[in-house]
Amino acid sequence: MGHQGVERTQNLLRQRCFWVGMYEEVDQWIKKCYRCVLTKLPQPKIHAPVKPFLATRPLEVVAVDFSVLEPASDGRENVLVVTDVFTKFTQAFPTRDQKADTTAKILLREWFMRYGVPERLHSDQGRNFESEVIQELCKLYGVKKSRTTPHHPQGNAQCERFNRTLHDLLRTLPPDKKRRWPEYLPELVYAYNVTPHATTGHSPYYLMFGVHPHLPVDALLGQEQVLDKKHDWLIVHQQRLNEAHNRARQYTEQKAAERLELDKTRVYCPPVEIGQFVYLRHWPQGRNKIQDAWSPVVYRVVEVQGSTHTVEPVEGGPVKRVHRANLRPCIGPIPAPRKKKNNESSVIAGPMTEEKTGCSDSDPEYVLLGETSYPIAEQGSVGDREAVQSSGVLESVNTDDACVPAPSASEQVSTPETVAAETNGDIGVITPTPVPRRSKRANAGVHSNPYNVPVSACHAITLSPEVLSQLLTNMGTALFKEAVHELKYTN
């Protein structure tokens, strides 16, 4: 009845029949339905415990991500977001594409050479971030590379949260300026960096540079920049920056603890043990309104680290690391593990030794050979030639616990009697192959129109003079009658 839920199916059955344990059996039947498991998402939704993604100092972890906006008037529609996880200091760079070399150039010129080289670069598993160019850049500057699990943007929460803020800031532009959003992007990002952050309590600008920014509103209010002319300015600046970092670290940990406490009420994450068979979340390209939610390929869990699970296909394939929310325990049939094929040495025509063939007492009593043809002497009859020219399977039987080597294609047999002597009942039997039949027509194998030249339909049929004369007479009679008919009605 349409693969509906437990309660709806139970109501249909209750109106028609009853038996002891009906509800439990219906519940188990629907939960073990193969199509229901692959097509429906679990209820309640899997929500693994949230782990805070924190840093202890500036430039310890720098997160990057791409955001796609509406095309601007100059054709640019991609924004590369680079943010420091500790200070929340962020920069956004409009680009024309998301290629790996474009990403590497921006990271090198706009961040590494201006704000410093980070200790770790964090991103999703996009092809531009996982390319060899980025790997060589990180290797050259000694930067560690980390990544999120597939289809789990919560692993890069800092960039994803800034993307929403950036979209809100750009949305406030007037309609006539939204087509030129790359021109206003630096001002909007600067406004974000000089505003105190809710997580740290300080502005990202102050935590990164150690001084408060001088804004245009300060100039309008007549406030001048405070200049410290003491000789110990460097010591005071260092102390002030250390105190700001300590307060920001404590404030960030406090906010993270509050978020974890609020998130506990939503946690629903049944454990998946090592060795259990699971399905992976299916993400088809294009429209997927009625596509299966889970892939039918069965995986086995080989490692569990918190909410990250390492799985491998049962039938063989690469190992994947996925989040718990993208796993579902397997209910349907589990395929048998694929057995590794043994590299069995194939027997070919030619002289072979015992080392090549690997013959022993446990070897099978037959050997498969390739196609082999034997030359025929001129003295033999036609029937003998047909019996000797052969190709197929030569069946060899072990005699005296020893391997008998198969005849080679290079070995030539002069007469049919010699072949019959070598292929007696103890060694093998040659299956005759009939001689291919050839046509004796003079134009056999020659195409009548090899170049596909157009041919008139008149040449398709040849008419005799008598038939042609009768055909023309009939046509003339029909035309004469039609002319008389028209003339009659015209008068």
Residue 217 lies in a domain: yes
At residue 129, the pLDDT reads 94
At residue 140, the pLDDT reads 94
Residue 330 lies in a domain: no
Residue 134 lies in a domain: yes
Q: Give the separation between CA 22 and CA 18, rounded to whole angstroms.
A: 7
Number of domains into which the chain is organized: 1
Q: Give the separation between CA 14 and CA 8, rounded to whole angstroms.
A: 10
Q: Give the separation between CA 480 and CA 482, rounded to whole angstroms.
A: 5
Contact between residue 417 and residue 381 where contact means Cβ atoms under 8 Å apart: no
Structure token digits, residue 474 = 């009939």
What's 195's domain CATH number?
3.30.420.10
Q: Give the separation between CA 195 and CA 213, rounded to whole angstroms.
A: 10
Beta bridge partners of 328: 279
At residue 403, the pLDDT reads 41
Residue whose entry in the numeric block shows the structure tokens 């040495």: 345
At residue 479, the pLDDT reads 84
pTM: 0.60
pLDDT digits (tens, 9 = 90+) for 407-445: 444 444 444 444 444 444 444 455 566 777 777 777 777
Residue 177 lies in a domain: yes
At residue 78, the pLDDT reads 94
Q: Give the separation between CA 298 and CA 314, rounded to whole angstroms.
A: 6
Of 84, 169, 68, nearest to 122 (Cα)?
A: 84
Beta bridge partners of 1: none
pLDDT digits (tens, 9 = 90+) for 55-69: 999 999 999 999 999
Enumerate residue ranges in the chain where pLDDT < 50.
Answer: 344-428
| Helix, strand, coil distribution of the chain in percent, nearest 5 | 35, 10, 50
At residue 396, the pLDDT reads 38
Residue 266 lies in a domain: no
Of 187, 131, 125, nearest to 156 (Cα)?
A: 125
Residue 87 lies in a domain: yes
Task: Identify the domain containing residue 211 by its residue range.
Answer: 62-221+228-247
At residue 292, the pLDDT reads 86
Contact between residue 345 and residue 357 where contact means Cβ atoms under 8 Å apart: yes
- DSSP secondary structure string for all residues of 4-15: --HHHHHHHHHT
CA distances from 196 to 82, 87, 207, 417 (A): 18, 11, 10, 103
